[in-house]
Structure 1
Amino acid sequence: MPLTFRVVAARGGWLQVQLPQRPNGSTGWVVAADVRLTRVSYRLVVSTEDNTLTLFDGGVRVARYTVATGTGGTPTPHGSFYLTELLSPTNHGYGPFAFGLSAFSEALSSFGGGPGQIGLHGTDDSSSIGHSVSHGCIRMTNRDITALAHLLPLGTPITIR
């Protein structure tokens, strides 16, 4: 997987980047000449109150999806994050695609053998969509996550509120 960062500031020949690690919101500095920069016109906004994910392109709302988010005991963390990786899960239940986010659970230090990283993924249980039922991940229908997997580049910002 390529290592992906989200640039938050630039000074001289340095870039301040958001890091995909704990604690959420961590930043660091990298030499600008050592990275390849790309612009991303897309952004995602998730409402944990409404269980919706809205896709924007260049500031224009393109689509709104109903999603499942975290429960009271394992909430989906709020903040500004980005898509770090795209996987085709082999674990049952996660649908055909899963984006890893730069966000980590604030309730779980690990989950399913991993570090408690939050994902945006499909689900084999479509009845969960529209409810707060996950361990913190954002679930979409398999059709919707497939559409986003073919559209969104890594580095796409996602705001969760």
Structure 2
Amino acid sequence: MKFNRRIFLLAAGSMLTGCASSETERVGLDRPAPSNRGGQTVDYETSEPAGTIIVEPSRYELLLIQGGGKALTYPVGVGKAGHSFSGRATVGRKEEWPKWTPTANMIAADPDGKGRLAGGVQGGAANPLGARALYLFQGGRDTLYRIHGTNDPSSIGKSVSSGCIRMFDRDVIDLYERVPIGAPVIVRG
């Protein structure tokens, strides 16, 4: 067989077709894994009321229940082993461009790094909380856990935080606009 341009183009096209992927990959049999684009509507059956936030850490996914078997899905980053929050909470406070202050535990674990930031970091591009923060409360008290944006988008889809749930800034801005103070939050264990 003589190699010519036509055969090359056909072969190259066939090989590249195998390299293409859809925006989501299949995980399990129920629904696709979250893509890197949040706010997509997915099928999600639950008895929780519309407006509830459900975080599935093992899937790096946050869902905002819409009702009627639907939810909006967002990709997230979660707490590293031993630093993650699980259980029920409510959104007790919301902040745009929040100030970040490391907790006492963060400072103790990294006195040279986080210790020098003990006074906090004002809202802005360098702030680890990103563009928005939803503060999680239990029994009327701040848990010190947050759903927030990030200044490190590469952390989404990973277990690297000190326990908070990280989102792309564009996604946390969208969620912030949709969720009122008092909204229920469930973080699966």
TM over 0.5: yes
Give the structure with the higher percent helix.
Answer: 2
CA distance in 2, matches of 1:59, 1:74: 34
Q: Which runs of 5+ in 1 are unaligned?
A: 1-39, 104-114
Counterpart among 129, 145, 150 of residue 177 in structure 2? 150
Unaligned residue ranges in structure 2 (runs of 5+): 1-48, 100-120, 122-126
Alignment partners' CA distance in 1, 2:147 and 2:163 = 10
What aligned pairs does 1:1-161 form with structure 2 within 5 A after superposition? 41-75=50-84, 77-88=85-96, 89-90=98-99, 91=121, 92-102=127-137, 117-161=144-188
Aligned residues: 111
Deviations 1:20-41 (A, max 9, x none): xxxxxxxxxxxxxxxxxxxx84
- Secondary structure in 2 aligned to 1:80? strand
Q: Is the 8 A contact 1:83 1:158 kept in 2?
A: yes
Matches of 2:68 and 2:183, distance apart in 1: 13
List per-residue Cα deviations over 1:50-83 (Å, max 9, x = no partner). 11101112354231111011001312x2111111
Query: Is the strand fraction higher in 1 or 2?
Result: 1
**Could you tell me the TM-score, scaled by structure 2's length?**
0.54
Residue 150 of structure 1 aligns to a residue whose secondary structure is helix
Q: What is the Cα deviation at residue 116 of structure 1?
A: 5.8
* Large movers: runs of 4+ above 4 Å: none
- RMSD over aligned Cα, in angstroms? 2.0
Paired letter, 1:70: G
CA contact (8 A) 2:149 2:172 kept: yes
